[in-house]
Amino acid sequence: MHALPRRTRPQVVLVGPPGSGKSAVGHALAELLGAGCVETDREVERLAGTPVSEVFVDLGEARFRELEREATMQVLARDGVVEIGGGAITDPAVRAVLHDHTVVFLDVGIVDAAKRIGFDQSSSMVALLPRRSWIRHMEARRPLYTEVATWTVDTAGRSVQDVADQVVELLQGGTA
């Protein structure tokens, strides 16, 4: 086990776009560190009493972002591994708080993200629209991810375990 000293705040916060591997890497990393893992999307669901997809559709993006900010602030007070939703980084208050934490930006390109998310069928018009949306969001958010990142780890073409091992190395004093 690679357990680091216990703290009253997260050992590491994972940020990145959908398909970067935040959930899978977060859980693998928590296991390596002997720590818990919490996802802000699960906290949003707890606060809203409904799945994230329904919050977004029924209450709108503005309300979702409010709940996401509240959930993020709550989970950043916990120990272990924290996974922040891909769009939370657009909130200036969230970015300001993240500067006080060890943050790893899990970077990924559209090819790998598409495979992980499932919109990699290039012949389908339905698949094309999410790809364009993902690219547009990533172009807008990349500077925000890098702004708060202590380290950036490229997840493209890599196994979950390989990425989690690299993050542990970084936490123990390695270099990116």
- pLDDT tens string 28-64: 999 999 999 999 989 999 999 988 888 878 888 899 8
115 is known to lie in a ligand binding site: no
- The first and second tokens of residue 101, run together, are 């934490």
Q: How far is CA 128 from CA 34, 107, 114, 116, 131, in A?
A: 40, 21, 10, 15, 5
Q: What percent of the chain has pLDDT over 90?
A: 55
In this predicted model, which residue has the larger pLDDT, 104 or 115? 104
Residue 6 has pLDDT above 60, yes or no: no
49 is known to lie in a ligand binding site: no
Cross-strand bridge partners of residue 107: 154
86 is known to lie in a ligand binding site: yes
85 is known to lie in a ligand binding site: no
Cβ burial 29-65 (10 Å sphere, 16+ → b, else e): bbebbebebbbbbebbbeebeeebeebeeeeeeeebb
20 is known to lie in a ligand binding site: yes
96 is known to lie in a ligand binding site: no
- Residue 82 has a CB neighbour count (10 Å cut-off) of 29
- pLDDT tens string 112-145: 877 777 765 544 334 445 778 888 888 999 999 9
142 is known to lie in a ligand binding site: no
Mean pLDDT of the chain: 85
141 is known to lie in a ligand binding site: yes
From start to end of 37-144, where are the E strands?
37-39, 80-83, 103-107
pTM of the predicted structure, to 2 decimals = 0.85
Domains of the chain: 17-163 (3.40.50.300)
